[in-house]
Amino acid sequence: MSFITDIWQKISALGIDDSMERSERKRVRLVNQINFLILFAIPAFCILYSFMRWELVIVVFGIAIPFIINLFLNATKKTTLSKITTYFSFWFAVAILTPFLGKNSGIGHLFYLVGIVPFLIYPIKEKAKIIFLSIFSCISVIVVYIVGIMYGLEDWGLLNSSQQHIVYIAIILLMFVVIAMFVGSLSANNEQFESELIQTLKETEELQAITNEQNEELTTVEKSLQNALKKVEGDKKEIIQKNNELQAQEEEMRQTLEELTSVNEQIMKQEEVLRLKVEENKLQLYQIEQQEELMRNSFADLQEKTEQMEAQEVIMQQAMEEMNRINEKLQASEQILESEVKRRTAQIGEQNKALENSFQALESKTRTLHQSINYAKRIQSAILPPKMVVRALFPKSFIFYKPKDVVSGDFYWVDRKVDENGSMRIAIAAVDCTGHGVPGAIMSMIGYNLLNQFSNQVTLEAPNLLVEKLHNGVIESLQQKHTENRDGMDLSLCVYDVEKQTIDFVGAKNPLIYIQDDILHEIKGTNASVGGAFYKNRQVNFEKYTIDVSKPTTIYLYSDGYQDQFGGEKGRKFMKAKFKQLLLDNHKKTMEEQHQIFSRTFDDWKKNTDQVDDVLLIGFQINPK
């Protein structure tokens, strides 16, 4: 029995993976089980007919072939074709066996049950297919009945009355076996669903615990960042003060050099005067030689010239003494200048060394600051919902997330709640906080924690109540009623009701764009931000909008970073009209292709231009074709 159970589970899981929706998985599993039950009955009837008529064994084997093909189609994920062929294989089997076994046999009654098969293998929402197949079954019954009367097909029966009763009893027993296997399958499916739900709840609790730990670490990092910023500001002031002192000292040295230059010029002038005096003395000596020649002729003239010569020697001696004094002063000035230059050079060297030490300290603190910010980025990335969780809730989705700095003021948030009746609601939001970088990241931590705090079954049923609680929570957390703080956040929040096939949207200055039937629709939401002292004296009512998504719908949530980016050939903004056209042109492509297109378009537009803001774009499809 365990062998049959293992085969039952393996065949039931053919063609099923995690990317399929839950309703589709149930439908494929049911089609697999129907095909398996028919094949399960084939050996029993082959054995039974082998004791009656061997021709029927060949017919039964021929009927088994389409059901094997159906299982192969499901295994290759061609589920639509498998559902259709399952129905027609079942119809064909009953239509063939009826005339062979005789019109009064129990197997003939199964022909009227073919109309029930569409309700088993097709969901209720596919009403057109169910109606078509049911009408086809009824018409087929009438046609076979008329043909049987006209051409006497009832005379084709291969079984006598007693054999027909045996087959009838075998069919009843087989139906009981089928019902038992169906009940066991439903019980196993329910147990599997409960185990998946318990595992999901455990993972949610673990994620919440990790989030709490990361919040504590973020608080510690925030304090260390504030202390580091204070130290950097103090060091900056000290460096500015030292630079001012160095500039004053350089100005003083420049004045001293100008004074020394002036002294050198005066000394050069004095040397020129002395040189002129020496030339004059040489001229005087020449004149004295001439006078000595004349003295030989005149004693009186000699005596007179001698007196003049003595007077000139006195003058020359005085000039030499004056020249010696000037040289001594010049040597003393040169020694003073040399010692002053050495002193100033040593002082500048010490100041340069101190400046180099300050620069190294500043570089170390800057490196520490960058390490802290990178650690903050890891913390922020860790608290964001993993993309695999988003893919589990919305299989057809993508997230384009590009922070301006290391950490971001934009973040995305998802949550899921299941009520007592098993109805599930999935919430997803795109949030744009005031600023970017470290201030924006701190605001994003506050917003993310408040959303987790206020998210419950009640607020997901009324998402406008969740946004109002978030609004009041931001005002209270930042004490905006008593301070000048004006920080807040803009957001787009969607809650998808899986059972009702609707989406409730609440917007705070950020819109929602959805595309149905190749037509783009925009809901702008409420013209008010979450938080901010501007609203502290009045109540803000955030309006809720409901969208029917029972047909294929593509939805986009985003911040304003993408459309506000400067770039292009003229260095202008990307603009909202071009952004909406980009969404409309690519909404039919796969989510992976859309993510690549939006990323490449943004980079091509920005090129070498600085990114002006954080960028966040979320896209997902409901009921895709």
Residues 6+ apart with CB under 8 A from 334: none
Q: Span 526-538, mean pLDDT?
A: 74
Q: For residue range 482-521, list pLDDT tens digits in order.
A: 877 788 899 999 999 999 999 999 999 999 999 999 999 9
* Cα(308)–Cα(32) distance, integer angstroms: 145
Q: For residue range 541-555, list pLDDT tens digits in order.
A: 899 999 999 999 999
Length of the chain: 625
**574 vs 248, higher pLDDT:** 574
Q: For residue range 277-323, list pLDDT tens digits in order.
A: 767 767 766 766 676 666 666 655 556 655 666 666 666 666 566 66
Which range, of 93-107, 267-281, 424-438, 489-503, averages the lowest pLDDT? 93-107
What do you get for the CA distance between the two ends of the chain, in Å?
A: 40
**73 vs 617, higher pLDDT:** 617
Q: Would you give the distance in Å from CA 231 to the centre of its chain?
A: 33
Which range, of 31-35, 40-44, 305-309, 434-438, averages the lowest pLDDT? 305-309
CA distances from 303 to 131, 286, 294, 296 (A): 160, 18, 11, 11
Provide the pLDDT for residue 188: 56
The proportion of the chain whose per-residue pLDDT surpasses 70, expressed as a percent, equals 58
- Token code pair at residue 605: 């537009």
Residue 392, amino acid: A
DSSP 8-class letter at 550: S
Query: Is residue 106 predicted with pLDDT exceeding 90?
Result: no
Task: Give the range with max mean pLDDT: 98-102, 146-150, 474-478, 551-555.
Answer: 551-555
Provide the pLDDT for residue 107: 44
Say if domain 385-622 classifies as CATH 3.60.40.10.
yes
* Cα(375)–Cα(381) distance, integer angstroms: 10
The answer to whether residues 479 and 545 touch, using CB atoms and an 8 Å cutoff, is no
Q: Where are the beta strands (DSSP E) in 480-614?
A: 489-497, 502-508, 512-516, 519-523, 544-548, 553-558, 566-567, 572-573
Torsion-angle region of residue 470: left (phi > 0), alpha (psi -120 to 50) or beta?
A: alpha
Provide the pLDDT for residue 265: 78
Provide the pLDDT for residue 511: 95
Q: How many CB atoms lie within 10 A of CB 326?
A: 16
